[in-house]
Structure 1
């Protein structure tokens, strides 16, 4: 699938800034883009609130818009999306229902399952 070059470039800059706040020249070197291109992308990202200038006004860091978006991500759903194909592989290999849970202090939270083909099954309480 064909990607949008400017979005790829902006995302590369965000990844670099996430690792360490940096200025235009350092970012241009790390992503191998012309300084003028990096400056335009940074201006747009800053205008959108995705990044902000640090107190010394020479480097950029992740901004409030990205932080707000990040707080809406449910990490258990991301984990489940990655794990689901493996759960199905286990069901196929074992012929049994497979559950996915995560530790939560002294408790365990069930976040997903893949059912076996057997008519009699043991159920967990996903989300409890």
Structure 2
């Protein structure tokens, strides 16, 4: 008929093969994602419970993944685990990681929601370093700037990091050296931060300034903190209670972007 395109069997066959290839890739990725820190080794039966595949298809994909080094197997009955190719990709990803770039969209969303200054800090020995900052657009605001450093024991963003560092207590003398901070009270604050998931500071470095901060994590542990800063006139106790869940959620989003699922 006029204006009607005749079927193209060759094109249709290529389309079907392409769809099959995409489907196979998706299934292979589902297998890799079935492994977790808690389930580092899985049997074929356990994998079948986690992915929607027939046993022949599962074994065919496992064979391909093992050939490429993404899966290894051992034992009888056979058990599977992630292979060296995954470790190689993880190393490349870690070595080229740019926390500032990864944090930018997370920071921007929190900044848009709160209209307060938002910043990301990381540990540098007994100091904390500001990697990125988005100043509040409001006339009354507090900011320090990218590259700003301060003792890690002073301020919410530092305590949010120390509260989740396994060796923080053993290095406490280093962190508190030269500071007029009560040791027992400081340890209580770290414990409280671990319990609630965030730290708060008031008037510690700047009179009238309030900060709320939560830690984010990478595969090695606590990697830094994301903080919200504003004047006490806006960030009273009630405002802090409302903002804290948003700061925690932002830190959790950043942790996921760094490859860690928050507890």
Scaled by the length of structure 1, the TM-score of the pair is 0.70
Aligned CA distance change for structure 1 residues 78 and 60 (closer, same or farther; 3 Å): farther
Contact 1:17 1:62 in 2 (8 A): yes
In the other structure, the counterpart of 1:99 is 119
Mean Cα deviation higher: 85-94 or 23-32: 85-94
2:85 to 65, 69, 72: 65
Contact 2:130 2:145 in 1 (8 A): no
In the other structure, the counterpart of 1:25 is 45
Aligned CA distance change for structure 1 residues 101 and 74 (closer, same or farther; 3 Å): farther
Scaled by the length of structure 2, the TM-score of the pair is 0.38
**Greater share of helix residues, 1 or 2?**
1
Deviation at 1:55, TM superposition (A): 4.6
3-state SS of the aligned residue for 2:93? coil
1:11 to 24, 29, 53: 29
Contact 1:17 1:60 in 2 (8 A): no
The structure with the largest alpha-carbon Rg is 2
Contact 1:13 1:27 in 2 (8 A): yes
In the other structure, the counterpart of 2:62 is 42
Structure 2 unmatched ranges of 5 or more? 1-18, 149-263
**Greater share of strand residues, 1 or 2?**
2
Aligned CA distance change for structure 1 residues 79 and 41 (closer, same or farther; 3 Å): farther
Aligned CA distance change for structure 1 residues 21 and 110 (closer, same or farther; 3 Å): same
How many residues are treated as equivalent by the alignment?
119
Q: Note the alpha carbon deviations across 1:40-95, whole angstroms, 9 max, x for none.
A: 110110000001112547111111110111112238636852x323422444413x
Q: What is the RMSD of the two structures over their aligned residues, measured on CA atoms?
A: 3.2
Structure 1 unmatched ranges of 5 or more? none
In the other structure, the counterpart of 2:105 is 85
- Runs of 4+ off more than 6 Å: none
3-state SS of the aligned residue for 1:72? helix
Q: Note the alpha carbon deviations across 1:97-120, whole angstroms, 9 max, x for none.
A: x321123553324333335669xx
3-state SS of the aligned residue for 2:35? helix
CA distance in 1 between partners of 2:111 and 2:93 (Å): 28
Mean Cα deviation higher: 18-27 or 108-117: 108-117
